[in-house]
């Protein structure tokens, strides 16, 4: 079944400059971890760790948070987890917890990370 599309005429269109979000003002601020989500992706399982809302942006007032992904591994018995020396293992020890669910409520310092395309993201 074909979707009901409304045709419009926009007139002359061209490349435009999109608004940029300045995340640098959040570098060094402290935020609490609000959630830890277990996820499955194209390359396996991972957790998504997100802070409380730092700010809002755009006309829709979308929430701005710092976040970080940590990959999970599977052992020969099919159990998912992390190694002591993996990024997650090191982070858990730094945060003084034994499981990633215990990260909720812990405080982190917000930083930025730049992806391959040059876009900065908030992380910790």
Identify the pLDDT of residue 123.
97
Rounded mean pLDDT of the chain?
Answer: 92
pLDDT tens for each residue of 56-84: 988 899 999 999 999 999 999 999 999 99
Quick one: pLDDT band at residue 119, thresholds 50, 70, 90? confident
Measured between alpha carbons, how far is residue 4 from residues 1, 7 in Å? 9, 10
Question: With 90 as the cut, is the pLDDT of residue 1 above it?
Answer: no
Contacts of 103 by beta carbon, 8 Å cutoff, 6+ apart: 33, 36, 49, 92, 95, 97
pLDDT tens for each residue of 2-59: 567 787 888 888 888 766 788 889 999 999 999 999 999 999 999 999 999 999 988 8
Identify the pLDDT of residue 45.
96
pLDDT (mean) for 79-100: 97
């Amino acid at each position: 079944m074909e979707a009901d599309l409304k045709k419009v005429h926009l007139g002359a269109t061209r490349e435009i400059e999109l608004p940029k979000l300045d995340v640098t003002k959040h570098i060094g601020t402290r935020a609490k971890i609000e959630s830890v989500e277990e996820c499955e992706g194209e390359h396996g399982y991972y957790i998504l760790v997100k802070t409380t809302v730092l700010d809002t942006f755009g006309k829709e007032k979308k929430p701005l948070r710092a976040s970080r992904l940590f990959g999970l591994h599977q052992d020969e018995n099919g159990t998912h987890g992390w190694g002591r020396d993996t990024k997650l293992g090191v982070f858990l020890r730094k945060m003084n917890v034994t499981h990633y669910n215990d990260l909720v409520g812990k405080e982190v310092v917000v930083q930025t990370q730049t992806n391959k395309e040059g876009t900065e993201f908030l992380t910790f």
